[in-house]
Amino acid sequence: MQSIGFIVNPLSGDGRGANIWKEVETYLQQNQIPHVFKLTAKAGEATELTISMIQEHKVGKLIVIGGDGTIHEAAQGLAHIHKEGITSSLAVIPSGTGNDFAKAYGIPMHPLQALNIALTGTKRVQIDLLRTASGVVAVNSIGAGFDGMVAKLTNESNYKKVLNRLRLGKLSYFLTILRVFATYKPCTAWLEVDGKVHELPHMWLAAVANIPFYGGAIQICPSASPYDGIADIVVIQSRGRFRLLPILFTVYQGNHIRHPAVSFYKGTSISLRSQTPLLIQADGEYAGATPLQIVLAPSVITVIC
């Protein structure tokens, strides 16, 4: 039987991760399913725990209990061992705020249903990764500008914790969007996609997407696919903020694609520089500031979905 390992973020979803792990562990013990597990204690730890678990225990199936941030960290570890010729399939039991990764791969929110897919699911897909020049790997998206600011402020906010307790965590992103929208100042940026440079006056955001979703329920790039060997890029530009108001309410259904302030590109090598430094998010986590360089790495991680 394939060795099974769990990376658990007990703090994800404001403690929901710990409760889910108790439920999962009870099931594993009752059904005498052998496994190893490691609990994260601080941000960034899931990467090293993933590497050490796979190297020490020869784990062939890694199951992450956490949110998109924990999956993001585990993906760094999986990408690292992939370079060494070691493979381990990734499965997820979602316990975070947005759970964009789980949504993209049809993974249910119910813990034991997600566990059943992780243990017995036969559908496996090879997914692409977004890799920056600084070595950051993303499975969902990398964005700069407005969304970088939203990600940073949401993760720092007190209301995110409160809303997580009420199972309304996705609302925290929308509240931050409204906060940032009122004060954000766009700037000129230059986007290069596969060698072609696009000047972007009054740019609010540029996001490189591997899946359609980010921010919990936002369909930022409805056509993005993690299997096609190409990245989707969305850019929003506008001199005035009120012109963008319709986007705030249509982006959740993906209907913003018809708005004249929205442009799309596709490519495998992307760079972005800006007139002023812009905050960067990678899978919803703060990842520095522009300039930014991204290369799409095809078919790196195997996902059970």
Q: How far apart are CA 212 and CA 234, in angstroms?
A: 11
Asked if 115 and 184 sit in the same domain, the reply is no
Integer Cα distance of 158 and 171 in angstroms: 13
pLDDT at 168: 81
Does any domain span residue 182?
yes
Other beta carbons less than 10 A from residue 51's beta carbon: 18
Over the stretch 186-200, which tens digit does the pLDDT of each residue have?
999 999 999 999 999
Radius of gyration of the chain (CA): 19
List beta partners, residue 198. Answer: 191
Mean of pLDDT values over 246-270: 95
Rounded to whole angstroms, the Cα distance separating 244 from 238 reads 7
Look up residue 237 and give its two tokens: 């530009």
**Residue entry with tokens 């290369």:** 295
Kindly give the residue spans of alpha helices, DSSP state H, lying in 124-183: 146-156, 158-165, 170-183
In a domain, 303, yes or no: no
CA dihedral 232, 93, 250, 295 (to 10 degrees): -10
Which residues, in sequence order, are CB contacts of 113 under 8 Å at separation 6+?
none
**Within a domain: 188:** yes
92 and 30 in a common domain: yes
> Which token pair is 279?
């905050």
The pLDDT assigned to 77 comes to: 96
**CA separation for the pair 76, 70 (Å, rounded):** 10
pLDDT tens per residue across span 117-136: 999 999 999 999 999 999 99
Of 57, 90, 122, the position where a domain reaches its end is 122
Answer yes or no: is pLDDT of 7 > 80.
yes
Q: Give the largest Cα separation in the chain, rounded.
A: 61
Q: Which tens digits make up the pLDDT trace of 27-86?
A: 999 999 999 999 999 988 999 999 999 999 999 999 999 999 999 999 999 999 988 888
Share of the chain above pLDDT 70, in %: 99
Residue 132 placed within a domain: no
Residues 209-255: pLDDT tens digits? 999 998 887 999 999 999 999 999 999 999 999 999 999 889 989 99
When comparing pLDDT for 267 and 169, which is higher?
Answer: 267
Is the residue at 241 inside a domain?
yes
Per-residue model confidence (pLDDT) at position 129: 97
Count: domains in the chain: 2
Shared domain check, 203 and 240: yes
- For residue 127, which of 15, 241, 210, 40 has the smallest C-alpha distance? 210
Q: Give me the mean pLDDT over the 136-156 stretch.
A: 94
| 3 state SS of 34 | coil
- Specify the CATH number for the domain of residue 198: 2.60.200.40
What pLDDT, on a 0 to 100 scale, did the predictor assign at position 1?
52
Verify that 177 and 267 share a domain, yes or no: yes
Residue 131 included in any domain: no
What is the spatial distance between Cα 25 and Cα 16, in angstroms, rounded to a whole number?
14
Q: How far apart are CA 37 and CA 22, in angstroms?
A: 12
Query: What's 42's domain CATH number?
Result: 3.40.50.10330
Assign 87 a pLDDT band (cuts: 50, 70, 90). Answer: confident
Residues in CB range of 15: below 8 A, 6 or more apart: none
Q: Which domain holds residue 241?
A: 138-298
Task: Report the distance separating Cα 301 and Cα 75, nearest Å.
Answer: 8
Q: What is the pLDDT of residue 248?
A: 87
Model pLDDT, residue 2? 65
Residue 185 has pLDDT above 80, yes or no: yes
- Rounded CA-CA distance 68/92 in Å is 10
Is the full-model pTM beyond 0.85? yes
Task: State phi, psi for 18 to the nearest 5 degrees.
Answer: -65, -40
Together in a domain, 158 and 204: yes
The terminus-to-terminus CA distance of the chain in angstroms comes to 19
Same domain, 209 and 158: yes
Domain boundary among 122, 148, 183: 122
Same domain (yes/no): 187, 282: yes
74, 95, 122: which is the final residue of a domain?
122
Q: Name the residue type at position 18.
A: A
Residue 210 lies in a domain: yes
Residues 105 and 176 in one domain: no
Claim to verify: residue 186 and residue 53 sit in the same structural domain: no
The whole-chain average pLDDT of the chain stands at 94
Residue 230 and residue 157 share a domain: yes
Choose among 288, 104, 109: nearest CA to 210. Answer: 104
Whose CA is closest to 6, among 101, 83, 70? 70
Query: 90 with 175, same domain?
Result: no
> Does residue 305 sit within a domain?
no
Question: Is the confidence at residue 3, as pLDDT, over 60?
Answer: yes
The set of residues, in sequence order, having a beta carbon less than 8 Å from that of 274 and lying 6+ positions away, is: 144, 145, 187, 188, 189, 190, 203, 290, 291
Same domain, 156 and 222: yes
